[in-house]
């Protein structure tokens, strides 16, 4: 048994007439033809919503990728800092001169020979830390390390002379930085 269309069933039941059925078919054909020829716009709200969701997803992906890239660059910079400390540190510095510095809010002492002690006081070398170990570094390397992360640099003396106040009565009596008590 072949099922009749809804329109045929309505005609048999007397709820619709042939004139209205013909008119509805004609309108439906015209609408389909116009859509095929792009004369009228289809309901594109769903397509617009999907496009908007794609745009938002693309923006989220871009932000996430930028954050990942920034984190990788940061890790790369920290790796370079660690490599600089391991390769450029001064190996032979042991001596009889004490130099005090602060590490984790505690005063620590390092024993230096005369040459390294004078260089540290005058700012030509600096003290850096890596994995709870202390290293003497050339000041140029320590400046580059401090530019990436200052937490690795414990002490960096500047070798600039201090300004003297003209009215200071003790201006003629400078206290040396390497004064031993």
**CA–CA distance, 12 with 15 (Å, rounded to integer):** 8
The pLDDT of residue 2 is 61
pLDDT in tens, 42-58: 556 778 888 889 999 99
The pLDDT of residue 71 is 92
For the chain, which ranges sit under pLDDT 50?
none
The pLDDT of residue 55 is 92
The pLDDT of residue 113 is 85
The pLDDT of residue 8 is 79
DSSP string, 72-99: HHHHHHHHHHHHHHHHHSB-----SEEE
The pLDDT of residue 17 is 83
Backbone region of residue 13 per phi and psi (left: phi > 0; alpha: psi in -120 to 50; beta: other values)? alpha
Whole-structure pTM value: 0.52
The pLDDT of residue 154 is 75
- What is the CB-side half-sphere exposure of residue 133 using CA atoms within 13 A? 10
The pLDDT of residue 65 is 94
Residue matched to tokens 């003396």: 157
- What is the CB-side half-sphere exposure of residue 119 using CA atoms within 13 A? 16
């Amino acid at each position: 048994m072949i099922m009749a269309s809804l329109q045929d069933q309505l005609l048999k039941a007397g709820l619709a007439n042939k004139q209205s059925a013909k008119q509805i078919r004609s309108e439906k054909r015209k609408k389909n033809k116009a859509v095929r020829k792009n004369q009228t716009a289809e309901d594109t709200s769903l397509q617009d919503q999907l496009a908007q969701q794609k745009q938002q997803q693309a923006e989220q992906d871009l932000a996430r990728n930028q954050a990942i890239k920034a984190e990788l660059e940061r890790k790369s910079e920290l790796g370079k800092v660690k490599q600089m400390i391991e390769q450029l540190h001064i190996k032979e510095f042991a001596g009889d001169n004490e130099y005090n510095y602060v590490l984790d809010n505690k005063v620590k002492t390092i024993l230096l020979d005369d040459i390294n002690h004078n260089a540290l006081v005058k700012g030509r070398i600096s003290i850096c830390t890596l994995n709870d170990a202390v290293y003497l570094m050339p000041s140029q390397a320590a400046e580059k390390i401090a530019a990436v992360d200052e937490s690795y640099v414990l002490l960096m003396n500047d070798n600039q002379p201090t300004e003297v106040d003209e009215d200071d009565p003790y201006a003629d009596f400078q206290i040396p930085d390497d004064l031993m008590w």
